[in-house]
Amino acid sequence: MRRSDPVPNSWPDYPEGKYQLNPIEPLTDRTWPDNQIITPPNWCEVGLRDGNQALPETMSPEQKLAYFQALVKMGFKQIEIGFPSASTRDFDFCRQLIEDDHIPDDVYIQVLVQCREDLIRTTCNAIEGSKNAIIHFYNATNPTQRRVTFGNMSREKNRQQAVDAARLLKRLTADFGTDMQDLVFQYSPESWSDTEIDHSVDVCVAVLDAIEASPEEALILNLPVTVERYLPSEIADQVERFQRMITQTVDRDSMIISMHPHNDCGTAVATVEETLKAGADRVEGVIFGGGERTGNVDLITLAGNMMGRGINPGIDISNLDEAREMFKQTTGMPIHPRHPYSGDLVFTAFSGSHQDNIKKSFDDMDQNPSDRPWQEKQHYLHVDPADLGREYEAIAVNDQSGKAGTAFVLQQTYGMEMPKALQSQVYATAIQPEAEKAGEKLSAEKIWDLFRSEFMKHDCISLKAHQINSNEQGTNFTGTIVVNGQEKVIFGQGSGPVAAFVHALKKSTILEGSFSIGEYEQEIDLRQKDLGSDASAFSFVELQFKGNGSLWGVGYDDNIDTAAIKAVLASINRYQRIEAASE
């Protein structure tokens, strides 16, 4: 293959000419790429309006209230609660929040309304009595909607439509009671990204003038990417150009630039991040990306990205599991298992090399605590799941996984830290055959069951009772074992419990001299590490068998000597099963 080779055409019937490159005017002197996001934007969550209207079954009043209260708990200070003039349900919910005092003093409710007099009057009635509110009014400004929806509406008439709405809002809200602490106006030129830039500036300047915006009472100019068509960098260019043009007439401090991107092309998050670099102050979106078509920009992903780059996002995403359950229960919408930060599998590794790296990184953090940034501690985990209220669940194991994944499952879920020499044997003997047979990931419980049945099972020879006595001369073992249903008393001596028990087994002629002790390790149960010397322990014993090589056994007990005896016995039983299977 050469770089100059033509790209093969695998779609011969592609509808040639039906689509076209987006017409853009390059911004050759752009400055935004050199900027860096160092502070979070003002967040406005619109799931109760934009997200709710896109549901197959819209939320009930009870579900809406649960959603609203969850957003408040997460720290959202601006929440779009609905379209009061569009439905009785939205109007009643707005009144319920106000009259039943569900809105904290520092939270702004936002309501949406088209630039129509009757709808504006209804909307003003809906929010009367609230402490802080944002009235979000809009009209479509792009050429296709002006031509098709409004019947060849001129630019001038389109601008006047927005100005008339602004003046009416000023008049109707002038007599709001003293309970109103702050009333903010927000204007959206709908489909801003598809509107001629000079026309959108012209309309917005006229609205700023009509609403009498000032640095003390700034107007939110919301710039919707209603249908995503452009690259994030192209939208950022538009934002920078828009600000250059509009600030020739209006003080920049008299406006708050807000972004409202949809996700038709799958790049809404990138669009927000690029436009924040280009000077946007605020973003509207939905937690977990709910909304029309492919959804609104996901505010959780944006906040997680900021957290991972060392920026406090200003909203609390430290309990994502709770937020996920609320979202699923109130909206009926699933969250994709690979959804950034929020999906069930985003903190799970299947690849053996990933598993090995993750385990080694966690081991290094335990052994070498430091104040290095997270990125230098853990390569494959973008952020610490604990910061999101999530656990690093036991690594999933399938037929693509390796020994590290299995070891990590047993360590994290069952507190057992295996010797490295044992890990390969556990995976190859007990886990990999079952993973290949199943063709899917194995649960932690399944891995534990497979491990115990192979490395801890006493099915051929079991220990009924025993006594260990140690003195300066060594250790004496006395015990009763059961072999094929028959009890047998055995005695042995050695330098320690393991050696004494092995000596007793050899003297009993059960296995005679066919094995010897290899490696031997003991570790406390990591789940009980706070108990110190009172913690239960795992023992790992390797026995070398003539003709069968190395066979590990594992024991567990609250007495460390008994755990070692059980480990020897588990290895003996493995040998017995192998011998029986070969006959």
Average the pLDDT over each of 255-259, 322-326, 370-374 and give the range with the smallest value: 370-374
* Per-residue pLDDT tens over the stretch 116-126: 999 999 999 99
User: Tens of pLDDT along 288-315?
Assistant: 999 999 999 999 999 999 999 999 999 9
**Tokens for 487?**
């009890």
Amino acid at 350: F
454 Cβ contact list (under 8 Å, min separation 6): 426, 429, 430, 574
- How large is the average pLDDT for residues 80-88? 96
Q: Is the pLDDT of residue 548 over 90?
A: no
| Pair 317, 81: CB distance under 8 Å | no
The helix/strand/coil state of 292 is coil
The pLDDT assigned to 441 comes to: 76
Cβ(73)–Cβ(85) below 8 Å: no
Q: Dihedral through CA 549, CA 552, CA 553, CA 559, nearest 10? A: 130
Helices (H), 309-351: 320-331
Give the mean model confidence (pLDDT) for residues 462-491: 90
What mean pLDDT is predicted for residues 138-164?
95
Separation CA 147–CA 144 (nearest Å): 5
CA–CA distance, 70 with 286 (Å, rounded to integer)? 13
- What DSSP designation does 547 have? T
Tens digit of each residue's pLDDT (9 = 90 or more) over 419-441: 988 998 898 899 888 888 877 77
pLDDT at 393: 66
Query: For position 359, what pLDDT does the model report?
Result: 81
DSSP string, 119-139: HHHHHHHHHTT-SEEEEEEEE
Question: Which domains occur in the chain, in start order?
Answer: 32-331 (3.20.20.70), 352-452 (no CATH), 461-582 (3.30.160.270)
d(CA 200, CA 206): 10
Bridge partners, residue 183, by sequence: 133
The SS3 assignment for 285 reads strand
Mean per-residue pLDDT, 531-544: 91
Is 395 a residue whose pLDDT tops 60? yes
Residues sharing a CB contact under 8 Å with residue 528, sequence separation 6 or more, in sequence order: 415, 534, 535, 536
Q: Which long-range contacts (CB under 8 A, 24 or more apart) does 177-183 make?
A: 177/128, 177/129, 179/129, 179/130, 179/131, 180/130, 180/131, 180/132, 180/133, 181/105, 181/131, 181/132, 182/108, 182/131, 182/132, 182/133, 183/132, 183/133, 183/134, 183/135
Say whether pLDDT at 399 is over 60.
yes
Edge-first strand listing for the sheet containing 486-494: 461-471, 474-483, 486-494
Tokens of 315: 């909203």
The 3 state secondary structure assigned to 538-579 is EEEEEEEECCCEEEEEEEEECCHHHHHHHHHHHHHHHHHHHH
| Ramachandran angles phi, psi of 488, nearest 5° | -145, 130
* pLDDT bucket at 511, cuts 50 / 70 / 90: low
Can you list the positions of beta strands (E) in 213-281?
A: 219-225, 255-261
What is the reported pLDDT for 152?
Answer: 94
Q: Share the mean pLDDT of the chain.
A: 92
